[in-house]
């Protein structure tokens, strides 16, 4: 009976143990602006705790806890919900945030229409923001909310937002995406939305003029982004959200239509899961190569050898909180390169062997230093890269076949010439002996 008061707490801890954590760690620092009440985001924060994350809160200007000390990150993930803060503590600077990303710390950053250091940092990630004070607005569909608060449909083909089915309420700024291949679009703006400095469109001409002077074109349409991710070459992820209200309880509990709840609660968890490397995380466990009908990897290969290359890939299983074999890649390729690819072939999954990808090919008839290269990059997925160097040499003097079928004309020519020479020599020598014997006989007579 004494355990009954603690029963809910024990059940909550047990549920957290059953849920998956990030593949890189479960410690999260939340930098929350003082003007934002933590309780207004309880749905989002409680969802993170239920999945096993440990949240630590601090103000933007607070000195502790530090996000990085002696070039070592203090947390696995950092959430910056300080969209209007213009001055931070010494440990939170654009340079330190970039350093965190290089040290494989994941970042979730919310922006606002105001110009802040975070807005300047976004430009370093190929995000082009509209002029300050110009949030995104949409007058469609017809509703009773301001034009700056509008629902956004989620694409069914978006693998990042796998559990988000209903439209998402949005309020904030939009941005255009640069040509950086590391950008990952997560939520696009509706085609009828645009950026303006007022909800009645009175300032629309000034926005057009500013856009034309900036050379960026009109800030409108479905090509604009609302939520965009960025995956660094180290595997770390950063997500830019145009407005912090997307994660609020107000939007999570707000109905899109009568009797239909919004998808903000599921959307916020999906975004956090991808940002914190909990979903769509892959890795190459092992690569092997050997000649066909053999099992030992060689230090070098001979031209025209038939080689089998095998890669074993696993993905982070959010249900079991462990790495499991992954066979879901259908378009992976293997390159056998020496400066340029000499062979590019498909690397398909092996049926009946989860997580195994294999292909067989003939080594080109050219010697040199080659590489087995896997360079698989797809939006949203962890980049898979592997490179193995092997030399390719010509056959040894005793490595060639004793007789070559293509050389039979030369063999016949050489043999016939030799036989003809022997016959000619024999006949010539034998004929000369007979003449000498005949001459001696005539003298005797």
pLDDT digits (tens, 9 = 90+) for 344-365: 999 999 999 999 999 999 999 9
Give the pairing of strands 176-177 and 306-317. unpaired
Residues of the chain with pLDDT > 90: what percent?
73
Work out the average pLDDT over 100-106: 95
Largest CA distance in the chain: 149
With CA atoms as reference, report the closest residue to 270 among 166, 171, 195, 374.
Answer: 166
Least confident of 9-23, 220-234, 341-355: 9-23
Beta strands in 270-408, from DSSP E residues, in sequence order = 282-291, 301-302, 306-317, 322-325, 333-338, 340-346, 356-362, 368-376, 384-393
Instruction: Assess whether pLDDT exceeds 80 at residue 94.
Output: yes
What distance in Å separates the CA atoms of residue 285 and residue 72, rounded to the nearest whole number?
A: 26
CB of 389 within 8 A of CB of 371?
yes
Instruction: Assess whether pLDDT exceeds 50 at residue 404.
Output: yes
When pLDDT is cut at 50, 70 and 90, the band that residue 403 belongs to is confident
Residue 103 Cα distances to 69, 323, 388, angstroms: 12, 22, 25
The residues facing 122 across adjacent strands are: none
- Torsion, CA 171, CA 172, CA 173, CA 175, rounded to 10: -70
Rg of the chain (C-alpha set): 35
Start-to-end CA span in the chain (Å): 149
Instruction: Assess whether pLDDT exceeds 70 at residue 193.
Output: yes
Q: Give 372 or 214, the one with higher predicted confidence.
A: 372
Phi-psi map region of 67: left, alpha, beta (phi>0 left; psi -120 to 50 alpha):
alpha
pLDDT at 5: 36
CB crowding 354-392: b at 16 or more within 10 Å, else e: ebbbbbebebeeebeebebbbebeebbbbebebeeebeb
Instruction: Assess whether pLDDT exceeds 70 at residue 242.
Output: yes
Instruction: Assess whether pLDDT exceeds 50 at residue 163.
Output: yes
The answer to whether the Cα torsion of 120, 125, 130, 136 is positive or negative is negative
At 299-341, the pLDDT tens digits run 999 999 999 999 999 999 988 889 999 999 999 999 999 999 9
Element of type H or E holding 433: helix 408-444
Q: Is this prediction's pTM over 0.85? A: no
pLDDT at 221: 85
The token duo for 431 is 């004929």
The token duo for 121 is 């940092």
pLDDT at 211: 52
At 15-37, the pLDDT tens digits run 444 444 899 999 999 999 999 99
The token duo for 259 is 């009797």
pLDDT at 100: 95
Q: Which CATH class is domain 282-393?
A: mainly beta
Work out the average pLDDT over 164-181: 94
Give the CATH architecture of domain 14-275.
3-Layer(aba) Sandwich (3.40)
Give the pairing of strands 282-291 and 306-317. antiparallel
The average confidence (pLDDT) of the chain is: 88
What values do phi and psi take at 394, rounded to 5?
A: -70, 165
With CA atoms as reference, report the closest residue to 101 among 58, 131, 69, 68.
Answer: 68
At 55-77, the pLDDT tens digits run 999 999 999 999 998 889 999 99
Which residue's entry shows tokens 């020519």?
413
At 135-159, the pLDDT tens digits run 999 988 888 889 999 999 999 889 9
At 248-263, the pLDDT tens digits run 999 999 999 888 999 9
The residues facing 424 across adjacent strands are: none
Instruction: Assess whether pLDDT exceeds 70 at residue 10.
Output: no
CB of 17 within 8 A of CB of 320?
no
CB of 163 within 8 A of CB of 266?
yes
pLDDT at 16: 40
Residues of the chain with pLDDT > 70: what percent?
88
pLDDT at 197: 75
What distance in Å separates the CA atoms of residue 241 and residue 175, rounded to the nearest whole number?
A: 10
With CA atoms as reference, report the closest residue to 283 among 181, 355, 185, 349.
Answer: 355
Work out the average pLDDT over 398-409: 80
pLDDT at 54: 95
């Amino acid at each position: 009976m004494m355990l009954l008061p603690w029963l809910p707490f024990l059940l909550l801890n047990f549920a957290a143990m059953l849920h998956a954590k990030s593949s890189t760690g479960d410690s999260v620092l939340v930098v929350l602006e003082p003007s934002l009440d933590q309780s207004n985001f309880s749905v989002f924060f409680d969802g993170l705790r239920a999945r096993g994350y440990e949240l630590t809160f601090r103000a933007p200007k607070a000195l502790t806890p530090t996000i990085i000390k002696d070039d070592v990150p203090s947390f696995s993930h950092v959430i910056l919900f300080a969209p209007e803060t213009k001055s931070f503590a010494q440990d939170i600077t654009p340079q330190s945030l970039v350093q965190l990303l290089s040290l494989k710390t994941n970042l979730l950053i919310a922006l606002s229409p105001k110009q802040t250091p975070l807005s300047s940092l976004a430009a370093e990630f190929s995000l082009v923001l509209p002029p300050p004070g110009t949030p995104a607005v949409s007058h469609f569909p017809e509703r009773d909310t301001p034009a700056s608060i509008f629902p956004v449909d989620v694409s069914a083909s978006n693998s990042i937002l796998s559990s988000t089915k209903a439209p998402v309420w949005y309020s904030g700024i939009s941005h255009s995406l640069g040509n950086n291949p590391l950008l990952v679009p997560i939520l696009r703006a509706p085609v009828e939305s645009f950026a303006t400095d007022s909800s009645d469109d009175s300032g629309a001409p000034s926005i057009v003029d500013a856009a034309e002077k900036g050379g960026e074109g009109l800030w409108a349409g479905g090509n604009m982004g609302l939520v965009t991710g960025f995956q660094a070459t180290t595997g770390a992820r950063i997500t830019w959200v145009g407005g912090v209200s997307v994660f609020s309880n107000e939007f999570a509990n707000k109905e899109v239509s009568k009797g239909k709840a919004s998808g903000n609660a599921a959307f916020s968890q999906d975004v956090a899961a991808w940002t914190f490397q909990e979903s769509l995380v892959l890795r190459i466990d092992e690569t092997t190569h050997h000649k066909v009908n053999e099992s030992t990897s060689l230090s070098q290969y001979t031209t025209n050898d038939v080689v089998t290359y095998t890669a074993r890939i696993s993905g982070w299983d959010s249900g079991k909180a462990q790495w499991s074999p992954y066979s879901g890649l259908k378009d992976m390729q293997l390159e056998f390169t020496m400066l340029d690819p000499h062979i590019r072939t498909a690397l398909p999954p092996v049926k009946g062997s989860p997580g195994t990808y294999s292909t067989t090919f003939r080594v080109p008839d050219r010697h040199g230093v080659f590489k087995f290269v896997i360079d698989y990059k797809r939006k949203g997925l962890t980049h898979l890269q592997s490179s193995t160097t092997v030399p390719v040499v010509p056959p040894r003097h005793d490595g060639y076949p004793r007789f070559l079928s293509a050389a039979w004309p030369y063999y016949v020519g050489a043999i016939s010439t030799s036989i003809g020479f022997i016959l000619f020599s024999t006949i010539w020598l034998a004929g000369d002996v007979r003449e000498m014997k005949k001459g001696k006989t005539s003298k005797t007579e």
